[in-house]
């Protein structure tokens, strides 16, 4: 996943400059499309100024921001519940295996959902797979 350029208007555009503003936003879309095709090996950890222009008294910066990789911290119990959910086990089975109540499983799932900003078990597993916190074989990578 690549970092997307962001257009920042340093000053509010005056009346009549909306067309310029819209044109520059269109330029951002075109740059995004071009970047998906080129430079697959470029570093995404650095902020890069793609354009710095002043047009009719308004300064425009087109910046590629570094990709933010937030680290989700799950407790060992949450990790075990995530692994079992990823394997398709219902709450009752998870509770029996872990020797806890199904209410406790629900509480852990609510906390995991809140940490990830998701609303379903499928979204939880999909997001953890996407960020690399869960392997396709439903194993959590070793923590450092």
Is 69 a domain residue?
A: no
Is 30 a domain residue?
A: yes
| 58-64 β-sheet, strand order | 5-9, 58-64, 48-55
Q: Any idea what the CATH number is for the domain that residue 92 is in?
A: 1.10.10.10
Both 24 and 49 in one domain: the answer is yes
CA distance 19 to 67: 30
Contacting residues for 76 by C-beta, under 8 A, at least 6 apart: none
Is 137 a domain residue?
A: no
In the chain, how many domains are there? Answer: 2
Both 52 and 80 in one domain: the answer is no
Tokens of 102: 């199904």
Residue 6 has pLDDT above 90, yes or no: no
Both 55 and 90 in one domain: the answer is no
Both 48 and 84 in one domain: the answer is no
CA-derived radius of gyration, the chain: 22
Tokens of 35: 């970047």
Domain that residue 124 falls in? 76-130
Both 46 and 83 in one domain: the answer is no
Residue 131 has pLDDT above 60, yes or no: yes
Both 43 and 10 in one domain: the answer is yes
Helices (H), ranges, 1-144: 18-37, 76-86, 91-98, 102-116, 121-130
Look up the pTM and report it. 0.50
CA distance 61 to 52: 5
End-to-end CA distance of the chain: 24
Both 51 and 15 in one domain: the answer is yes
Is 29 a domain residue?
A: yes
* Domain end among 18, 33, 64: 64
* Domain end among 64, 88, 110: 64
Is 139 a domain residue?
A: no
User: Residues 100-126: pLDDT tens digits?
Assistant: 999 999 999 999 999 998 999 999 999
User: Residues 88-106: pLDDT tens digits?
Assistant: 999 999 999 999 999 999 9
CA distance 92 to 111: 18
């Amino acid at each position: 996943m690549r970092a997307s350029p962001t257009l920042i208007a340093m000053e509010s555009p005056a009346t009549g400059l909306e067309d310029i503003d819209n044109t520059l936003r269109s330029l951002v879309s075109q740059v995004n499309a071009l970047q998906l095709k080129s430079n697959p090996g470029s570093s995404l950890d650095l902020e890069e100024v793609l354009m710095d222009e002043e047009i009719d008294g308004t300064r425009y910066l087109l910046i590629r921001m570094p990709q933010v990789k937030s680290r989700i911290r799950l407790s060992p119990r949450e990790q075990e519940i995530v692994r079992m959910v990823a394997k398709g086990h219902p709450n009752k089975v998870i509770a029996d295996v872990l020797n806890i109540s199904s209410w406790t499983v629900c509480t852990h799932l609510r906390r995991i959902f809140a940490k990830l900003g998701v609303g379903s078990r499928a979204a939880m597993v999909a997001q953890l797979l996407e960020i690399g916190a869960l392997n396709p074989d439903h194993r959590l990578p070793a923590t450092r």
